[in-house]
Amino acid sequence: MWFRFCFLLLSFSLITNGYAAPKQQVLLLTYHLKAPYVIDWGEQRGLYFDLASYLNHKTDKYQFKTELMPRKRLDLLLAEPFTDVVVGVQPAWFKSLADKMLFTAPFLHDKDVFVSDARKPVRDQDLADLTGKTFIGSQGYRYKGIDEIVASGILERVDTLQEDYVLDMLRLGRGDFTIISASTLSYKFSHGEQARYFYVANTPHDLIQRGFMLSNTDPELHQFLQQVIKQMPADQEWQLLLAKYQIQHSMVKP
């Protein structure tokens, strides 16, 4: 009888210890359909897909998966109770949500740069007066300073479906200049795009600190992401991912 009791107790203990609580499913939402962050949506290639796997290696509690979402749809989603994470963003882009969202420290320090056709360069001094010029933007994107000039009627804006196409538009003569992330430009130049055809102004349009945004109702998830970001600069797995996408080490700061 005693033996049977001990056997049942041991069996119950093994079953209890072997039971794993279901992981919290977390979507990493991005509206940035551009290399190196999203290279091929169908094949799930790009840094943000690898970032989800990287985070999954760091936790037994969460299960991350990257999903693409247009900015307009994301804005609607953010107006409701929000349980996921927006990746690659900074507080300045979501000022109206400051009272309901948490932002992590940045995991990448990027910048947006002005690019024009090398045959008709728009130099730093030319940016002070854009009268009569045409700006090539990306659909759904907001551009600090540029949007205001467009609204005044001084500058015309034409849009592409995604940032990956802005250099093609420049080459075709559809506009005078564009704005593109330095990380995207670097990736394109290392994958066949000819740098000599383009002029990059010295003055950046904006400095970008890419981090995570999530609801302030989940401080535990925020703390987890903060801890991961803190050790990223010294993490070999993360360094290998950056090298895979030709992201310069200078973009990662302790």
Distance from C-alpha of 116 to C-alpha of 127, rounded to nearest angstrom: 11
In this predicted structure, what is the pLDDT of residue 250?
A: 59
Q: Is residue 221 assigned to a domain? A: yes
Residue 91 and residue 211 in contact, taking contact as beta carbons nearer than 8 Å = no
153 alpha carbon, distance to own chain's centre: 31
CA dihedral for 196, 88, 103, 106, sign (positive or negative): negative
Burial class of residue 1 (count of CB atoms within 10 Å of its CB; 0-12, 13-18, 19+)? exposed
Q: Is residue 17 assigned to a domain? A: no
Same domain, 218 and 144: no
pLDDT tens per residue across all 254 residues of the chain: 544 544 444 444 544 454 567 889 999 999 998 999 999 999 999 999 999 999 999 999 999 999 999 888 999 999 999 999 999 999 999 999 999 999 999 999 999 999 999 999 999 999 999 999 999 999 888 899 999 999 999 999 999 988 989 999 999 999 999 999 999 999 999 999 999 999 999 999 999 999 999 999 999 999 999 999 999 999 999 999 999 998 875 566 64
Q: Is residue 18 assigned to a domain? A: no
Report the domain count for the chain.
2
Same domain, 115 and 157: yes
Same domain, 200 and 231: no
Same domain, 219 and 198: no
Distance from C-alpha of 245 to C-alpha of 241, rounded to nearest angstrom: 7
- 192 sits in the region (left: phi over 0; alpha: psi -120 to 50; else beta) called left
Query: CATH number, domain at 169?
Result: 3.40.190.10
Burial class of residue 212 (count of CB atoms within 10 Å of its CB; 0-12, 13-18, 19+)? buried
In this predicted structure, what is the pLDDT of residue 249?
A: 59
Q: Is residue 6 assigned to a domain? A: no
**Beta-carbon-side half-sphere exposure of residue 113 (alpha carbons within 13 Å):** 18
For residue 189, the enclosing domain spans 111-206
In this predicted structure, what is the pLDDT of residue 221?
A: 98
Q: For residue 240, which amino acid is it?
A: L
Please choose, from the candidates 121, 93, 23, the residue with its C-alpha nearest in 3D space to the C-alpha of residue 65.
23
Which one-letter DSSP state was computed for residue 172? Answer: T
Instruction: Output the pTM of the full model.
Output: 0.86
Q: Is residue 2 assigned to a domain? A: no
In this predicted structure, what is the pLDDT of residue 226?
A: 98
Same domain, 121 and 202: yes
Would you report the helix, strand and coil content of the chain in percent, each value rounded to 5? 40, 25, 35
